[in-house]
């Protein structure tokens, strides 16, 4: 028998990665399990023990919460990242961080392979594979769930046969992923986009109908586009997000039901809970609207769409993301100030914003006493602004430009 080769497995403790350990062992591999703490509300020491119980040779847990918040979520907030205008990319943003740590552990352990529990239909397979390609092309990727061809029920049976404890059961088939920035839920009855998600699918947010009858008001402080304070109390980004997840979630804020376009070309119905993300992105956009001029806002918004798709498509470790970061960072130099929010029955509303860099000047905007806007200059501005349209029309009339005729009847 050849000597076993080492595989570093991205281990979540869920069904797919738990089944992957005995499956990889059955093919002659030694498994080193790696779990990153990116803010998922689970007992990670229990997760580590479960990996060892399932047969891993070693199991590591890395506290990456601050690294995730400061190196990834801060960029997402500054760039207002929403995939297809709805999804705050909670799962997608964590993958390049996990991928980077997988490579580091693989090199330290002398491993030849990296493994993950992603299926052939999912987006995460693309993200993990491309992280490995970009950071360590000498390593090979093994994706058991792309190979073994088991249904979820068959995976559950396989786990039971190998005495591997997993959270999924035949009565509760949801697949979930959680981190600081949000919770994603799929499978089960959610696969029918015509059906309303059952209340049991949610864990972080209250049913808006049962949320408090009184709104909650809070203030987020920003420095250069990054949240740095909550209700006047300075705090690092990770604790601020955790606090806002609790407060906004209590009011039912952050529920997202999205039929999205996956990288592999299929449509997928996903349910997300992202209380802090929804609140912070609303606050950040409002502050940008106060301090950035129109042309910069418009250009940034068009680039935000590209940035969000880049993250979703697994291209974090590429030159475009680095270039976009440079643009976004420069755009945030004046995005500092306070934004007031109201949380109520599933909604978040911006109720006020202030900044030392505010472009809103009351003496220019007011129609009351103190108006400093020079109204008499507007007529000349409109003449010059409309000159291209006036010239276009005049030239067309002189040249007798033919008008389009409808096609002849068949």
pLDDT of residue 14: 84
Tokens 């609790």 belong to: 246
**Region of poorest pLDDT, from 158-172, 264-278, 344-358:** 158-172
- Give the CATH fold of the 178-354 domain: 3.90.1260
Question: Above 60 in pLDDT, residue 304?
Answer: yes
Residue 398 banded pLDDT, cuts 50, 70, 90: confident
pLDDT of residue 410: 66
In sequence order, the β-bridge partners of residue 19 are none
User: Rounded mean pLDDT of 118-133?
Assistant: 93
Pairing assessment for the beta strands 267-273 and 175-179 based on DSSP bridges: unpaired
Q: Which residue stretches of 275-361 are H helix?
A: 275-291, 294-312, 319-331
User: Rounded mean pLDDT of 348-363?
Assistant: 95
**Active-site residue flag, 16:** yes
Q: Which residue stretches of 205-269 are H helix?
A: 237-250
Separation of alpha carbons 76 and 82, rounded Å = 9
Alpha-carbon torsion, ordered 134, 136, 140, 142, to 10 deg: -70
In angstroms, what CA-CA distances link 398 with 18, 391, 394, 404, 405? 77, 11, 6, 17, 20
Q: Choose among 352, 232, 368: nearest CA to 289.
A: 352
User: Rounded mean pLDDT of 230-243?
Assistant: 98
Q: Choose among 280, 308, 260: nearest CA to 182.
A: 280
**Active-site residue flag, 309:** no
User: Rounded mean pLDDT of 277-296?
Assistant: 98
Q: Count other C-beta atoms under 10 Å from residue 402's C-beta.
A: 6
Which distant-in-sequence residues (6+ apart) come within 8 Å of 368 by Cβ? Answer: none
pLDDT of residue 149: 85
Separation of alpha carbons 401 and 410, rounded Å = 26
Residue 399 banded pLDDT, cuts 50, 70, 90: confident
The first and second tokens of residue 150, run together, are: 């088991």
**Active-site residue flag, 95:** yes
pLDDT of residue 397: 80
Separation of alpha carbons 17 and 33, rounded Å = 9
> pLDDT for 65-122, tens place per residue?
999 999 999 999 999 999 999 999 999 999 999 999 999 999 999 999 999 999 888 8
Residue 169 banded pLDDT, cuts 50, 70, 90: low
Separation of alpha carbons 197 and 18, rounded Å = 27
pLDDT of residue 168: 54
Separation of alpha carbons 62 and 104, rounded Å = 12
Residue 323 banded pLDDT, cuts 50, 70, 90: very high
Among residues 12, 18, 175, 184, the one annotated as catalytic is 175
CATH of 5-170, one of 3.20.20.80, 3.40.50.800, 3.40.50.620, 3.40.50.970: 3.40.50.620
Separation of alpha carbons 35 and 53, rounded Å = 15
Among residues 48, 78, 95, 334, the one annotated as catalytic is 95
Length of the chain counted residue by residue: 410
- Concatenating the DSSP letter of every residue in 149-194 gives ---HHHHHHHHHHTT---S-BTTB--EEEEETTEEEEESGGGG-TT
Among residues 124, 247, 321, 334, the one annotated as catalytic is 124
Q: Provide, rounded to the nearest whole percent, the portion of the chain with pLDDT above 90.
A: 80
Assess contact for 315 and 324: CB atoms under 8 A.
no
Question: Above 80 in pLDDT, residue 404?
Answer: no
pLDDT of residue 173: 64
- DSSP single-letter state for residue 71: I
Q: Choose among 340, 350, 73: nearest CA to 221.
A: 340
Question: Above 60 in pLDDT, residue 171?
Answer: no
Assess contact for 372 and 363: CB atoms under 8 A.
yes
Residue 361 banded pLDDT, cuts 50, 70, 90: confident
pLDDT of residue 167: 61
Separation of alpha carbons 337 and 4, rounded Å = 57
Question: Above 60 in pLDDT, residue 170?
Answer: no
Q: Choose among 31, 23, 22, 267: nearest CA to 149.
A: 23
Question: Above 70 in pLDDT, residue 368?
Answer: yes
In angstroms, what CA-CA distances link 377 with 361, 374, 385? 18, 6, 12
**Active-site residue flag, 371:** no
Q: Where in the chain is the domain with CATH 3.40.50.620?
A: 5-170
The first and second tokens of residue 74, run together, are: 């801060």
Among residues 12, 16, 48, 336, the one annotated as catalytic is 16
Separation of alpha carbons 397 and 400, rounded Å = 5
Q: Where in the chain is the domain with CATH 3.90.1260.10?
A: 178-354
Q: What is the largest CA-CA distance in the chain?
A: 91
Q: Provide, rounded to the nearest whole percent, the portion of the chain with pLDDT above 70.
A: 97
**Region of poorest pLDDT, from 56-65, 169-178, 229-238:** 169-178
**Region of poorest pLDDT, from 11-20, 166-175, 288-297:** 166-175
User: Rounded mean pLDDT of 214-225?
Assistant: 98
Separation of alpha carbons 252 and 346, rounded Å = 4
pLDDT of residue 1: 40
Separation of alpha carbons 98 and 87, rounded Å = 20
Question: Above 90 in pLDDT, residue 369?
Answer: no
Assess contact for 104 and 132: CB atoms under 8 A.
no
Separation of alpha carbons 253 and 205, rounded Å = 7
- Concatenating the DSSP letter of every residue in 3-50 gives PPEEEEEE--SSHHHHHHHHHHHTTTEEEEEEEEESS-SS-HHHHHHH
């Amino acid at each position: 028998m050849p000597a076993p080769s080492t595989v570093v497995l991205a281990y979540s403790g869920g069904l797919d990665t738990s089944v992957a350990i005995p499956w990889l062992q059955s093919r002659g591999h030694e498994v080193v399990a790696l779990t990153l703490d990116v803010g998922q509300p689970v007992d990670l020491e229990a997760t580590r023990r479960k990996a060892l119980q399932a047969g891993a040779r070693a199991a590591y847990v890395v506290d990456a919460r601050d690294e995730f918040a400061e190196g990834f979520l801060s960029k997402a907030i500054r760039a207002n990242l929403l995939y297809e205008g709805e999804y705050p990319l909670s799962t997608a943003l964590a993958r390049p961080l996990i991928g980077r740590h997988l490579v580091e552990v693989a090199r330290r352990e002398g491993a030849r392979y990296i493994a993950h529990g992603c299926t052939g239909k999912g987006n995460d397979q693309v993200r993990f594979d491309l992280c490995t390609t970009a950071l360590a092309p000498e390593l090979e990727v093994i994706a058991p769930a792309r190979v073994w061809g088991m249904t979820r029920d068959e995976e559950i049976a396989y786990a039971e046969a190998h005495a591997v404890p997993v959270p999924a059961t035949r009565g509760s088939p949801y697949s979930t992923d959680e981190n600081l920035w949000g919770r994603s839920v799929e499978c089960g009855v959610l696969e029918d986009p015509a059906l309303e998600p059952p209340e049991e699918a949610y864990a972080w947010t209250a049913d808006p109908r049962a949320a408090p009858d009184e709104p909650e008001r809070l203030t987020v402080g920003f420095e250069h586009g990054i949240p740095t304070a909550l209700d006047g109390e300075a705090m690092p980004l990770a604790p601020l997000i955790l606090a806002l997840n609790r407060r906004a979630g209590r009011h039912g804020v952050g529920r997202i039901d999205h039929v999205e376009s996956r990288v592999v070309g299929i449509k997928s119905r996903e349910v997300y809970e992202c209380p802090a993300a929804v609140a912070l992105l609303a606050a950040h956009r409002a502050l940008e609207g106060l301090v950035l001029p129109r042309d910069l806002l418009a250009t940034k918004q068009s680039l935000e769409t590209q940035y969000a798709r880049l993250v979703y498509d697994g291209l974090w470790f590429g030159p475009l993301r680095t270039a976009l970061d440079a643009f976004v960072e420069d755009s945030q130099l004046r995005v500092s100030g306070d934004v007031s929010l109201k949380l109520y029955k599933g909604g978040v509303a911006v109720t006020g914003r202030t900044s030392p860099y505010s472009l809103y000047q009351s003496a220019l905007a007011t129609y009351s006493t103190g108006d400093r806007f020079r109204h008499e200059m507007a007529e000349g501005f409109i003449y010059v602004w409309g000159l291209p349209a006036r010239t276009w029309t005049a030239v067309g009339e002189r040249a007798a430009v033919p008008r389009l005729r409808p096609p002849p009847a068949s």
